[in-house]
Amino acid sequence: MTEQLAMFLSTSPLGLLLLAVLVFGDAFFVILPGEVAVTAFGALAVSTGSPPLIVVILIAGAAAFAGDACCYAVGRRVGLTRWRWMQRPRMQRAFAIARSRLDRSTGAVVFTARFIPFARLAVNLTAGATRTGAGRYLALAAVAALGWASYQAVIGAVVATLIPGGSIAAVLVSIAVALILGFTIDAFVARRSPRAPLARGD
């Protein structure tokens, strides 16, 4: 049954639609497994031969960019205090940190935040609210989204190449590897910036 589900997801357009929805939603709801979904489909691309890896990367990259762009637009329209969750002390600290870093190095912040869910949310909202130039910001966000999608999908593809045992084994191991790498990145960022809780939620 699980192998049949894997084959269905890898061959049906609904599988790619699910991937796009999860990645897009991950821009706003950090509990959604956007990274995991891209890694899993990267593994399926190699273990089942479908969908092509480049298709996984392009769809995930486009969905990630669309989510980030919408998040930027929300920040530009409503600011950083409209809703109660925005007014929490930790969120306000995250917004303040994002603002100061965007002022210093927009490109580096956009690329780094794309790999850290909570930071991604804070940076995109702050960029919109502070009227960071839309053209340059969205161009950077597009490149970062494509790089992020490539990274996540290639992890799955590499694991599927190395791990025998069928598509399910490849997907499960690739997800575990992606989660470990994600936690490692979070821990590294938190350790380098102990007073900057951008990598952690409230």
Residues 6+ apart with CB under 8 A from 127: 72, 75, 98, 102, 106, 110, 137
Residue 196's pLDDT band (cuts 50, 70, 90): very low
The pTM of the full predicted model, rounded to 2 decimals, is: 0.84
Residue 173's pLDDT band (cuts 50, 70, 90): confident
Ramachandran sector of residue 79 (left: φ over 0; alpha: ψ -120 to 50; beta: rest) = left
- Asked if the model's pLDDT at residue 9 lies above 90, the reply is no
- Asked if the model's pLDDT at residue 174 lies above 70, the reply is yes
Domain ranges of the chain: 2-199
pLDDT digits (tens, 9 = 90+) for 42-59: 999 998 889 999 999 999
What value does the mean pLDDT of the chain take? 86
DSSP single-letter state for residue 82: S
**Helix locations, the chain, DSSP H:** 2-11, 13-25, 34-47, 53-78, 89-104, 106-114, 117-129, 134-162, 167-192
Q: Is the dihedral of CA 26, 197, 148, 137 positive or negative?
A: positive
The pLDDT of residue 201:
42
